[in-house]
């Protein structure tokens, strides 16, 4: 098989595996939280609290998982992760008490920390190094349909068989579909170099910025990722209610919210097409500015601006998902990428866990004006990206075709 064909196969395999991983974890509570709460006689926020615990655990697991991928490649790590996902989902399906609920989600959190986008990106960088940008984009294009597939499938399973059986089906999909797909990932040569544990100047490639600017870039990138994941999770949790607070009807709010998914895919297609010819730093700056612009339009226009806001937010979020993989590669190079990625994403996982509660409180307290919170945070992310100087020598291979 040609190099291009082999890489295409890898991207399809990783992207499909990511679709199943996201669908069976991040997108699961939206459909199953209510039936789980009803069956276990707990509140729905308690179920989301268990999910938030999983997100925090995933943050703690990320750096170690990244180091393992740096050393051995992503094939083995992602395959093991499928087994952990399956065990956690079976445990969730067998849950009969509150402590079992939290224990099952804790196990799923371990899998999330070593089996979602950060691990997938690190696996691709471990294989293709600087020439990974379009491969990362390809994976996000495929996995961008995770909610589109997962929500209807989970709802169908819950309706006809119950939420426990839905968990068992997802576990089976990990073992029968995702595991064989991850087995198709090429083996990487074992890396003998010492893998940096933190994103310090010593971990940068020759094309990275000077040490002081490198440390600053790491801090600013961690902040940008934390803010943008907070915004993304807040909107995923409360967008219809936010739009209703601006005066939109339920039908308009749901219709506008449905535009976010296609807009995300559109943003990723834009990144794969036109924006691949520019620096990832420039495309990230444009993407970070999209949410604040959409928020201003929503405030100025009210309900008539709902669709424009959803499209701008979705497109920006779609491009920023790719930027989480390409910006660390651009700034610091491929050496130690997985471990560094784990550290950079750690604050984002924590803010992601807090987002539904914090923004929900702001929405209850301030109504539609709560949008100013995410607009301000989005603008600070844009400003932080402006404060990051590009490396002294731009990594040209980032723009190559896979």
Q: What is the pLDDT of residue 111?
A: 94
pLDDT interval class at 332 (50, 70, 90) = confident
- Write down the domain spans for the chain: 3-182, 202-395
Q: What is the pLDDT of residue 177?
A: 95
Per-residue pLDDT reduced to its tens digit, 214-249: 778 888 999 999 999 899 888 877 777 788 888 888
The mean pLDDT value for 146-156 works out to: 81
Nearest-angstrom CA–CA distance, 278 and 396: 10
**Cα gap 164→172, rounded to integer Å:** 13
The per-residue pLDDT for 213 is 59
Better-scored residue on pLDDT, 60 or 148? 60
3-182 and 202-395 have identical folds: yes
Backbone angles phi, psi at 99, to 5 degrees: -65, -35
What is the pLDDT confidence band of residue 1, given thresholds at 50, 70 and 90? very low
Burial group, residue 363, by CB count within 10 angstroms (0-12, 13-18, 19+): buried
- What digits encode the pLDDT tens for the residues 195-204? 444 444 334 3
At residue 18 the predicted structure's pLDDT band, cuts being 50, 70 and 90, is very high
Contact between 226 and 212 (Cβ < 8 Å): no
Contacts of 258 (CB under 8 A, 6+ apart): none
Cα(97)–Cα(91) distance, integer angstroms: 11
Stretch 94-119: mean pLDDT: 92
Res 262 pLDDT > 60: yes
Higher per-residue confidence, 37 vs 148: 37
DSSP states along 166-211: HHHHHHHHIIIIIHHHHTTSPPPPPP-SPPPSS--GGG--TTSPPH
5 pLDDT band (50/70/90 cuts)?
A: low
Q: What are the angstrom distances between the C-alpha of 305 and each of 123, 265, 299, 316, 365?
A: 40, 21, 8, 17, 22
| Residue 295 · residue 372 · CB < 8 Å | yes
CATH class, 202-395 region: mainly alpha
Confidence band for 94, pLDDT divided at 50, 70 and 90 = very high
Q: How many residues does the chain have?
A: 402
393 DSSP assignment: S
Per residue in 362-379, pLDDT tens? 888 898 899 999 999 999
Domain 3-182 has CATH 1.20.1250.20: yes
Least confident of 1-5, 102-106, 202-206, 370-374: 202-206
Confidence label for 178 from pLDDT (cuts 50, 70 and 90) = very high
* pLDDT value of residue 392: 60
pLDDT-based confidence at residue 289 (cuts at 50, 70, 90):
very high
Report how far residue 30's alpha carbon sits from residue 390's, in angstroms, rounded to the nearest whole number.
39
Using alpha carbons, list the distances in angstroms from residue 63 to 52, 55, 127, 192, 225.
19, 14, 19, 18, 15
pLDDT band at 292 (very low <50, low <70, confident <90, very high): very high
- Can you tell me whether residue 291 is helix, strand or coil? helix
What is the rounded average pLDDT for all residues in the chain?
83
pTM tops 0.75, yes or no: yes
Q: Phi-psi category of 248—alpha, beta or left, where left has phi over 0 and alpha has psi -120 to 50?
A: beta
Choose the most confident range, by mean pLDDT, from 188-197, 286-295, 338-347: 286-295
Per-residue pLDDT averaged across 55-84, rounded? 88
DSSP annotation of 303 reads G
């Amino acid at each position: 098989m040609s190099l291009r064909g082999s890489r295409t196969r890898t991207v399809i395999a990783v992207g499909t595996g990511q679709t199943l991983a996201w669908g069976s974890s991040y997108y699961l509570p939206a459909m199953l939280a209510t039936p789980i709460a009803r069956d276990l006689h707990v509140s729905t926020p308690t179920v989301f609290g268990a999910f938030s615990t999983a997100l925090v655990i995933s943050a703690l697991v990320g750096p170690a998982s990244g180091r393992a991928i740096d050393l051995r490649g992503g094939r083995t790590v992602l395959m093991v992760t499928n087994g952990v996902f399956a065990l956690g989902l079976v445990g969730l399906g067998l849950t009969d008490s509150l402590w079992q609920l939290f224990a099952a989600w804790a196990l799923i959190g371990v899998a999330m920390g070593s089996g979602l986008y950060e691990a997938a990106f690190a696996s691709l960088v471990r294989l293709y190094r600087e020439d990974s940008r379009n491969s990362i984009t390809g994976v996000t294009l495929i996995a961008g349909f995770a909610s589109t597939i997962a929500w209807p499938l989970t709802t169908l399973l819950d309706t006809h068989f119950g939420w426990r059986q839905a968990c068992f089906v997802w576990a089976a999909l990990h073992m029968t579909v995702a595991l064989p797909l991850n087995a198709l990932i090429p083996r990487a040569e074992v890396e003998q170099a010492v893998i940096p544990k933190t994103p310090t100047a010593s971990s940068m490639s020759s094309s990275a910025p000077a040490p002081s600017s490198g440390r600053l870039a790491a801090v600013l990138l961690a902040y940008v990722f934390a803010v943008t994941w907070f915004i993304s999770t807040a909107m995923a949790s409360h967008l219809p209610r936010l739009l209703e607070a601006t005066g939109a009807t339920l039908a308009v709010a749901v219709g506008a919210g449905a535009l976010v998914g296609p807009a995300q895919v559109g943003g990723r297609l834009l990144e794969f097409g036109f924006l691949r010819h520019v620096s990832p730093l420039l495309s990230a700056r444009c993407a970070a500015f999209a949410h604040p612009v959409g928020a201003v339009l929503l405030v100025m226009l009210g309900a008539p601006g709902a669709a424009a806001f959803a499209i701008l937010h979705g497109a920006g979020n779609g491009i920023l998902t790719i930027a989480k993989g390409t910006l660390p590669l651009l700034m610091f190079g491929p050496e130690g990428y997985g471990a560094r990625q784990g550290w950079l994403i750690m604050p984002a996982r924590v803010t992601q866990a807090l987002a539904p509660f914090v923004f929900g409180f702001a929405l209850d307290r301030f109504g539609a004006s709560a949008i100013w919170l995410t607009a301000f945070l989005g603008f600070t992310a844009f400003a932080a990206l402006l404060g990051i100087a590009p490396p002294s020598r731009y990594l040209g291979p980032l723009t190559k075709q896979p």
